[in-house]
Amino acid sequence: MKILFVEDDAVNRLVLKAMVEQAGSTLYEAENALIGLEMIEHNSYDLILMDLRMPGMDGMTAIRKIRERGDEKAKLPIIVVTADAAPNIRENCIAGGADDLIMKPVAVATLFDTIAKTMLTKGAAIAL
């Protein structure tokens, strides 16, 4: 499975990379939303993990831009990965186009369970 992780914090990217690669998948990294959108434009991914709070463009704006695309990439599964504990954060993210949400710090079991659930909901193959 090819996963794009859009996250400005290098430590968070390193931690998730170790988790994902231990499961046999590949994690591609974008250090901000603009780079993430550019990577989506030129590459194929099975899933996107998206941070919410990043300098420049925030994650919800990036998700909206992905969903507004006129191609198959608009349907990519997107899971928000955030430390934002605001009331209704999950509902707001899903209403904004995300498929699900994982809270930081990310637990391995939660990551894999959420990916599996999201991929099944989207009707996509799971190859973690």
Report CA-CA distances (Å) from 97 to 36, 64, 73: 16, 6, 13
Provide the pLDDT confidence category of residue 43 given band limits of 50, 70 and 90.
very high
What confidence tens digit (pLDDT) does each residue in 49-89 have? 999 999 999 999 999 999 999 999 999 999 999 999 899 99
Q: Quick check: 47 and 118 in contact, CB under 8 A?
A: yes
What confidence tens digit (pLDDT) does each residue in 85-114 have? 899 999 999 999 999 999 999 999 999 999
Tell me if the domain spanning 2-121 has CATH number 3.40.50.920.
Answer: no
User: In angstroms, rounded to a whole number, what is the distance separating the alpha carbons of residues 36 and 41?
Assistant: 9
Q: Quick check: 33 and 62 in contact, CB under 8 A?
A: yes
| pTM of structure | 0.94
pLDDT score, position 2:
97
Q: Quick check: 99 and 121 in contact, CB under 8 A?
A: yes
